[in-house]
């Protein structure tokens, strides 16, 4: 009886440990959405687009839970890439680059030009690993504020929304320090009003 009890106890303890490990991994995958994917799958444009289409409704519902009016119906905005592409600056995830109507000159922005206040850029993302795992990633949002509203970030607001709609960070709100690095990265393209653009091979033809 003692041996059976010990064996059952060990099996139960092992099972609990495995469940906790899996739970912690799932939580980490959502909470640390900014961390880089080590082994993203190499997909053709057609494959990437097919994976994205399979997730669009799920992504839209998830991000909508954040209750941010600025990204409502973002999937109806102009999109500037012809297929999802891997973005090294967004954790090696496949992303799409959307811009609202206020950002009408995003696709033609020249050095020294700026986007008007009210412009919103949104990159939704998905993780596709070479093991075949596919799921929504974080959404990365930039909002152009009125002049002088945020001198430290050149009047840009940065927000990261996790797939379940929770806000990981907002430079003008809660957990601002968690996304402060966004502007540090975007300073590389200060001459383009701090905005990166789609890689040339993925750009939608004008």
> Residue 184: its pLDDT value, please?
95
> Residue 144: its pLDDT value, please?
98
Q: What is the pLDDT of residues 20-48, one digit of tens each?
A: 333 333 333 444 445 677 888 999 999 99
Are the CB atoms for 194 and 183 separated by under 8 Å?
yes
Q: What would you report as the CA-atom Rg of the chain, rounded to the nearest whole angstrom?
A: 20
Are the CB atoms for 183 and 156 separated by under 8 Å?
yes
Buried b (16+ CB within 10 A) or exposed e, 174-203: eeeeebeebbeebeeeeebbbbbebeeebe
CATH class of the domain whose range is 36-202: alpha beta
Sketch the domain layout of the chain as residue ranges.
1-31, 36-202
Mean pLDDT of 103-115: 95
pTM attached to this predicted model:
0.82
């Amino acid at each position: 009886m003692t041996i059976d009890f010990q064996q059952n106890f060990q099996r139960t303890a092992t099972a609990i440990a495995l469940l906790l490990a899996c739970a912690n991994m799932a939580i980490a995958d959502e909470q640390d959405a900014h961390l880089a994917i080590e082994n993203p799958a190499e997909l053709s444009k057609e494959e990437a687009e097919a994976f994205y289409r399979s997730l669009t409704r799920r992504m839209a519902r998830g991000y909508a839970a954040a209750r941010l009016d600025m990204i409502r119906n973002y999937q109806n905005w102009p999109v500037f890439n012809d297929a999802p592409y891997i973005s090294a600056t967004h954790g090696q995830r496949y992303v799409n680059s959307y811009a609202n109507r206020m950002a009408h000159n995003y696709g033609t922005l020249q050095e020294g030009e700026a986007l008007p206040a009210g412009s919103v850029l949104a990159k939704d993302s998905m993780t596709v690993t070479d093991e075949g795992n596919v799921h929504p990633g974080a959404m990365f949002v930039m909002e152009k504020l009125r002049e002088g509203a945020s001198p430290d970030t050149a009047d840009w607001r940065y927000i990261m929304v996790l797939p379940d709609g929770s806000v990981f960070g907002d430079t003008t709100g809660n957990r601002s320090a968690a996304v402060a690095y966004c502007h540090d990265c975007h300073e590389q393209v200060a001459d383009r009003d701090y905005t990166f653009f789609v890689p040339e091979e993925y750009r939608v033809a004008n």
